[in-house]
């Protein structure tokens, strides 16, 4: 991101050169993930029944919503 921003600034002549031009970056590899099995999800919901965040745990497990999406939900 920084390299790209500096390249843009150099093109616009805001800076005289992009000092990050020769930096080599690697492509990040996605982390492997292991979803919960049905039994594990059921056990999780059972053990989290009294937890204050139990309400968003349920739709998270059923729909795969991410944290930001869950926090954007409006509860009635």
Q: For the segment 20-72, what is each residue's pLDDT rounded down to a tens digit?
A: 888 887 888 888 888 899 999 999 999 999 999 888 898 999 998 999 998 89
In sign, the C-alpha dihedral spanning 39, 40, 41, 43 is positive
C-alpha 73/C-alpha 61 separation (Å) is 15
- The model carries a pTM of 0.52
C-alpha 14/C-alpha 48 separation (Å) is 54
Indicate if the pLDDT at residue 19 is higher than 80.
yes
Measured between alpha carbons, how far is residue 14 from residues 3, 19, 59, 65 in Å? 14, 13, 48, 42
pLDDT score for 47:
94
C-alpha 8/C-alpha 20 separation (Å) is 12
C-alpha 12/C-alpha 10 separation (Å) is 5
């Amino acid at each position: 991101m920084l390299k790209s921003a500096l390249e843009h600034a150099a093109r616009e002549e805001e800076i005289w050169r992009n000092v990050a031009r020769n930096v080599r970056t690697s492509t990040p590899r996605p982390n492997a993930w292991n979803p919960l099995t049905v039994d594990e999800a059921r056990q999780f919901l059972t053990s989290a029944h009294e937890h204050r965040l139990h309400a968003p745990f349920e739709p998270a497990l059923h729909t795969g919503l991410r944290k930001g999406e869950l926090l954007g939900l409006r509860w009635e």
